Structure 1
Amino acid sequence: MKAEPSESHRDPNHTQAWLIGGGIASLSAAVYLVSEAQVPGPNIHLLDLHSGPGGGMTPREDPQRGSMTKLLSLVPSKTNLKGTLLDDVRRFETIERPQPQTAALSRALKLGPSGPEIVETKSLSIGAKNRMNLVKIMLERESTLGSKSIEDIMDEDFFGTTFWMLWTTEFELQPWHSAVEFRRHLRKYLENIQQLNNVIKSNRTEFNLHESLIEPIMIYLREGGVDFNFNTEVTNLTVYPKEDPVTVTSIELLRDGIEHTVDINAIDIVIVTLGSTSAGASLGTNRSSPPNLSLTWETELTRDWRLWQRLSQDSPKFGQPNNFLSQCLKSTLETFTSTFEGPEFMLLYEKLTHDRPGTGARISLTESNWGISLSIPRQPLFSSQSRTMNIICGIALNPTREGNFVKKAMYKCSGEEILIEILSHLQFPIEPILSSSKTVPCGMPLGTAPLLSRHEKDRPLVIPQSTTNIACVGQFVEIPGETTLSMDYSVHSAQIAVTRLMGLPGEPEEIRENRLLQVLHLMF
C-alpha cells in the first residue's frame, strides 16, 4: 500500500530535522532538506553511532539517471566552482574513459583443458520451459509470490545456466533469496542484461566512491552548517499517543556513556535509517582471517539494528527486522581488496582477458566454490595512490564453502590464502605476485540481507502508516517495484522521505520498470 504524501507544508525555518544514521540515505536526506526543502543547515542534525559517515554502498544505478542524478546535481563539485558532482561524472565519462577500448570483452572465466578460458555469454539460451517460467514470474502479482524463494519457483536446472550465472554474479541473488526481488530485477534489468558489465554505460567516478561522492557531500553539508554528531547512539524514539496517528515526541540517545533526551516538536521531523548490511562485518589481514565472523545473529546483536528492533516491538507498522537477522547463513558474503606493488598482475590480467582495467564492472570465476567475482577498476583508485601500485576488489557469495585449491572455508582464510586461490584459478604464477601484494578480507554476515525472502509487511513503508513526523530510509524499507541493495535505493528512499514529510509539491519520480513488451521479446 502506498503511503499518502503529507497534507501540510512545514515551515522550513521552524522545522528541526533529526537524521538517524550516517550512511548515504541520511546524507542524501540532508542534501534534499537543504537544497529542495530550504531547511537551514543548523536545523539539520545527523546522529550516528559510528565515528564517521558513509555506511555500506553498492554502486549499481547509473548516476546520470533517476534519484542519483538529482542528488549529484545538487552538490557542488570539489574541483569546479561553477559545476556539480554530476558535471564531474559526465566530464570523466567523456574525457577520461579508456581509449581505444570502451567496453569489456570478458565477463566470466572457466578452467579449460589448456588453462583459463573466456566464457561465452552472448547467448542466453536457457530452454523453453525456463523461458516460460521467467515470463510467468514477470507477469505474476507480488502478492501471489509472497515469501517464496527463487528456488521455489524455478527448476533446478535453471541455476546451472549462463543466464543465472550472469544474474547471480551481477546482483548477488542466490537461489534461496526472495522471488519478489527476483521478479523486480527481471522487470527492471532483463532488457539490458548484456550491457550491465559495460562501465561506460553504468556508473563511473574518477576515484573510489567515498572520495568522489561522500567527501564532497560532507563538505557541502558542513559548509551549510549541518550539525553532525558521530559516536552517538540513538536508543529509542518516544511516540505519543500510543494509538494512531502517532507522533515522535522525543529521542533518547547515548553519547560518551551519558544518556540524553531530545524533545521533538510536532513540526519537527525524524528520518531513521533502518538496519545495516555492514553490521557485524569484520576485517582480516594478509596473514589472518576475519576475526569473530558470526554466522548466527544470536551471538552478537549489533547496535546498528537495536533501534529498529525497538520500534518493531512497539508497532508492526515498522516491519520485522528479525526476519533479516535470523537468516545470516543465507546472507553471508565476503569481500576483499588486493594491493599489488608492481604491474605483474595487471599485465597478466590484460593478456588473459584482452580487457584494460576499468572497462568492465566485474569478471566472475564460474568454477569457484567460493563464488568469486573480481572487479579490476581503472587505476588509480585513490588520489594518493602511487603509480607503481594497483588495487583490485572482489566479492565471494559462498564463503562458507571449501576452496577449490585452498582446502578450507573462505571465512577461515587469510588474505594471502585468498589470493593464492584466485591466482590458482587464473593460473598466474604465485611468485613474485604473492610476496609483493597484500590482501585484506572482510566478512559480512548481513551482506545480502535485503534480498532475503520476506513477508509483505517485514519492510516498513518510507512513511509508516498513521504517523505524522517520521520516515524510514535505507535498504530495508519498502519502495514498491524497486530493487534493493543499490545506492540508488537508499537515495530514492531519502528523496521520498523529504518530499512527503516537508509537504513539497509533486512526488519523487519513480524509476519505471522496463516495458514488458520490449523485455519479453528477448525470451523468444
Structure 2
Amino acid sequence: MTKHHNEAAPFRSQHPEKINAYLVGGGIASLASAVHLLHDAKVPASQIHILESSSVPGGSMDGAGTAESGYVLRGGRMLNFSYLCTYELLATIPSLSDPKKTVMQEIEEFNAIPENKTNAHARLVAKGAEGPEIVDVKQLGLSMKDRLDLVHMSLQTEGSLGTKKITDCFGEAFFETKFWYMWATMFAFQPWHSAVEFRRYLHRFIHEFKRINTLAGVDRTPLNQHDSIILPIETYLKAQGVDFRYNTRVTRFSFQESPQITVNEIHTDSKGTTGVIHVQDFDIVFATIGSMTACSSIGSNTKAPAPIPSTQDALKAPDGTWALWDSLTHSQHGAAFGNPSSFYTRPTESNWLSFTVTLHDPSFFSRLVEWSGNTPGTGALITFKDSTWLMSIVVPKQPHFLNQPEDVQVFWGYALFPDKIGDFVKKPMEACSGQEILNELLGHLNFPQHPTLESATTIPCMMPYITSQFLTRAHKDRPKVIPEGSTNLALLGQYVEIDEDTVFTVEYSVRGAQMAVYEMMGVNKKPKAIYKGEHDVRVLAEALKMLIT
C-alpha cells in the first residue's frame, strides 16, 4: 500500500489513550479493525465505537432463524490455509465453547477430525437418461486451446486486460468444461464478470488446482460462520468494553476545508433521530463502503423473494453503505473515492439467489449420503451442471446452528441463473417460493417428494449485488484503503483496492482492516504477505499437471 504523509500517525502510536476510533459498519472488516486497534495499537476499548445500521453485527456473515420458522443463511464461505490475516485474527479470539482455546484452535481441531475432512465424491452431477449421474472429474475437460487461453490470461497484466469480460478471453466451449463448472461455482463467477478478477483468482488460488475436483483443501467452521466467527469476536469485544451502537446508520461525513482529507463530523440517523458526532484531532474514522448483501429480499416457504430492484435502489438500502460511498464521491475530495456506480448500477449482472432448507425428516439426508457417498460436512459443493439455474448445494456437518435441535437438519444452496425457467418447476427461480425451489432440487436428485417437501421449510433469498465486486471496472473505480491525502479516514470492505488479493473472501476484509489500523495508528507492523503458491515449484508443478491431465 502506498505510504501517505500522515503526520498524526506518530502521535497516535505514542498516545493511543487520546484516540477515539469510529468504525462505520458492523461487518467482519470493522470487527477485525476493533481487535487490531485493541491488540496492536493499544486503543482503549471504550474509545472504539462500532456504528451498525442493523440490530446485530456481522454484515454479510449472517445466520439466523429457528427450527420452527426455518433457518436462514444468505451465503457460506470456504476458508483455507492461505487466509493468513484471517487465521492470525482468529488465533487471538477465545472460543465460546472453551475459553481456554482460541477460535482458530477450534477450527483446526474440527478440521483435523478424519470424518470431518472435505473430499467431494459428487462434485458435479449431470442429467442422465435415467436420473442424475455423478460426473467423473478426475480430468478437467480442457482442450489445448482452453489450456493455452488460461496460461495466456495468467501471463497478462491487469492493465492489458482492462475492462474485458471473461468471455472476451475464452471460446464458447470453455464455458462447458468441467473446469469452468467447478471453478465458477466454487467462487461464484459469471461468464460476463471481470477478466481481471478471474485472473487474480487463478494466481491467488493456484494451490486449489490439484484438488478442485474434491475441494480437499477447504477448511470448515464447526458451525455456520456467524456462530463460529462473528459471535465469538462480538462477545470478546463487548467483554473488553468496546462500544457497539446498533440501529445507527451513518448518512454522510463532513470534511475540513483543506486540501487534505480530514473528517470532522459524522452524520447519523438512529430510527429517524438524526445526530452528529464531532471528530476531534487525532480521532480516526474507518468506513465500510458498498455492500454485497444490500437490498437482499427474503422470501418464505410459500412466497418468492421480491424482484430485483432498479439500478438506483442501492442508494435507498437501509444499511446506507452504498449511499455513504456515493456521498463521498460528491464531496470536495470525490476523485479519491473511486466510482461506486460501476458496482451498484448493474444488478442483473451481479445477482443470484440462495436458499436455506430446514428439514424435520431425516430421509433426505439419508438418501443423499447413500447416493453421493459423502456424509454431511464432507462433500462441500454439489453442482447440478445441467440445471438451467446452475444450482449447487452445500450439506454441512450437523448441527449447523447453536440452537439447532438434534432431530433437525439444515443445508444451504444457491443458483447463478435465477432468471431461467426451471427444469422441473416451469418458472424462473426468482419467481419461485421456497417449496418450489426444493421441489426443483428433488427433481434433479430424482428423490421422492414425500415426506421431504411437506415437512421442510425452505427460505429463498435474492441478493442483487452479491457478486457486484466481480463486475468489470476501471482501475481507479475501487479507492485505496487509505485514500491519497487522508489524515484520519480509512475505507474497508470488498470494494477497496488491495493489490493482488481477491475480493469475495473474508481474507480481503481482514487484510484491509490490518492495513488501515497499522498505517493510520503508526504501528510498526505490516499484514503478512499474500500467499503466492505460484512461487512454490511444487505447487506450480501440481497445478500444471492437473491443467494438462
- Equivalent in the alignment of 1:136: 152
Bigger shift: 255-264 or 458-467?
255-264
- Equivalent in the alignment of 1:308: 325
2:344 pairs with 1:325: yes
CA distance in 2, matches of 1:148, 1:103: 35
Question: Deviation of residue 329 (structure 1)?
Answer: 0.4
CA distance in 2, matches of 1:241, 1:60: 45
Bigger shift: 191-200 or 379-388?
191-200
SS in 2 for 1:193: helix
2:287 pairs with 1:283: no
Per-residue CA deviations over 1:51-79 (Å, capped at 9, x if unaligned) read: 11011135233268411111101111223
Q: For the Cα contact (< 8 Å) 2:183–2:212, is it kept in 1? A: no
- For 1:347-426, list aligned pairs within 5 A: 347-426=366-445
CA distance in 1, matches of 2:215, 2:155: 30
CA distance in 2, matches of 1:6, 1:248: 14
Which 5+ residue runs of structure 1 have no aligned equivalent?
A: none
- For 1:67-78, list aligned pairs within 5 A: 67-78=85-96
Aligned counterpart in structure 1 of residue 235 of structure 2, from 199, 219, 224: 219
Q: For the Cα contact (< 8 Å) 1:191–1:522, is it kept in 2? A: no
2:365 pairs with 1:346: yes
* Amino acid corresponding to residue 124 of structure 1 in structure 2: L
CA distance in 1, matches of 2:56, 2:81: 24
- Equivalent in the alignment of 1:46: 50
Per-residue CA deviations over 1:129-186 (Å, capped at 9, x if unaligned) read: 1211111111111011111111111112111111111111111111110110000011
Question: Deviation of residue 4 (structure 1)?
Answer: 4.4
- Equivalent in the alignment of 2:265: 250
* Amino acid corresponding to residue 41 of structure 2 in structure 1: A
Q: For the Cα contact (< 8 Å) 2:209–2:546, is it kept in 1? A: no
Bigger shift: 322-331 or 294-303?
294-303
CA distance in 2, matches of 1:452, 1:134: 19
Bigger shift: 371-380 or 287-296?
287-296
CA distance in 1, matches of 2:383, 2:493: 28
- For 1:25-36, list aligned pairs within 5 A: 25-36=29-40
Q: For the Cα contact (< 8 Å) 2:348–2:464, is it kept in 1? A: yes
CA distance in 2, matches of 1:118, 1:259: 57
- For 1:61-72, list aligned pairs within 5 A: 61-62=79-80, 65-72=83-90
Per-residue CA deviations over 1:471-516 (Å, capped at 9, x if unaligned) read: 1111111110011111111111111111111111131113133216
- Equivalent in the alignment of 1:81: 99
Bigger shift: 3-12 or 15-24?
3-12
Q: For the Cα contact (< 8 Å) 1:270–1:470, is it kept in 2? A: yes
2:277 pairs with 1:262: yes
Per-residue CA deviations over 1:265-289 (Å, capped at 9, x if unaligned) read: 2311110001111100011110010
Change (3 A) 1:428 1:138: same
CA distance in 1, matches of 2:404, 2:372: 25
Which 5+ residue runs of structure 2 have no aligned equivalent?
A: 62-75
Question: Deviation of residue 386 (structure 1)?
Answer: 1.6
Per-residue CA deviations over 1:195-238 (Å, capped at 9, x if unaligned) read: 35756632212111111111111111011111111111111111
Bigger shift: 57-66 or 383-392?
57-66
Bigger shift: 170-179 or 207-216?
207-216
Q: Give the share of equivalent positions with the same residue, in percent.
A: 39
Question: Deviation of residue 452 (structure 1)?
Answer: 0.6
Per-residue CA deviations over 1:342-370 (Å, capped at 9, x if unaligned) read: 21101111121111110022110111111
- Equivalent in the alignment of 1:498: 517
- CA RMSD after TM alignment: 1.9
Aligned counterpart in structure 2 of residue 153 of structure 1, from 155, 164, 169: 169
Q: For the Cα contact (< 8 Å) 1:145–1:180, is it kept in 2? A: yes
CA distance in 2, matches of 1:400, 1:162: 23
CA distance in 1, matches of 2:3, 2:482: 6
CA distance in 2, matches of 1:36, 1:237: 27
Bigger shift: 246-255 or 193-202?
193-202
Question: Deviation of residue 193 (structure 1)?
Answer: 2.7
Aligned counterpart in structure 2 of residue 432 of structure 1, from 451, 470, 477: 451
Q: For the Cα contact (< 8 Å) 2:33–2:514, is it kept in 1? A: yes
CA distance in 1, matches of 2:483, 2:147: 38
The aligned length equals: 521
Question: Deviation of residue 253 (structure 1)?
Answer: 1.1
TM-score (norm 2): 0.91
CA distance in 2, matches of 1:94, 1:482: 27
- Equivalent in the alignment of 1:271: 286
Per-residue CA deviations over 1:352-409 (Å, capped at 9, x if unaligned) read: 1111110022110111111111001111111321222111100111111111111111
- Equivalent in the alignment of 1:107: 123
Aligned counterpart in structure 1 of residue 250 of structure 2, from 234, 249, 262: 234
- Equivalent in the alignment of 1:13: 17
Q: For the Cα contact (< 8 Å) 1:103–1:359, is it kept in 2? A: yes
Q: For the Cα contact (< 8 Å) 2:118–2:217, is it kept in 1? A: no
* Amino acid corresponding to residue 310 of structure 1 in structure 2: S
* Amino acid corresponding to residue 278 of structure 1 in structure 2: T
Question: Deviation of residue 291 (structure 1)?
Answer: 2.6
- Equivalent in the alignment of 2:73: none
Q: For the Cα contact (< 8 Å) 1:122–1:194, is it kept in 2? A: no
Q: For the Cα contact (< 8 Å) 2:250–2:267, is it kept in 1? A: yes
CA distance in 2, matches of 1:124, 1:311: 45
- Equivalent in the alignment of 2:2: 2
SS in 1 for 2:376: coil
* Amino acid corresponding to residue 127 of structure 1 in structure 2: S
Change (3 A) 1:509 1:108: same
- Equivalent in the alignment of 1:60: 78
Per-residue CA deviations over 1:295-316 (Å, capped at 9, x if unaligned) read: 6445873233110000012212
TM-score (norm 1): 0.95
SS in 1 for 2:41: coil
Question: Deviation of residue 246 (structure 1)?
Answer: 1.8
Question: Deviation of residue 93 (structure 1)?
Answer: 2.1
SS in 1 for 2:201: helix
Aligned counterpart in structure 1 of residue 111 of structure 2, from 85, 88, 93: 93
Per-residue CA deviations over 1:398-445 (Å, capped at 9, x if unaligned) read: 111111111111111000100110000110011111111110000001
- Equivalent in the alignment of 1:193: 209
Question: Deviation of residue 91 (structure 1)?
Answer: 2.0
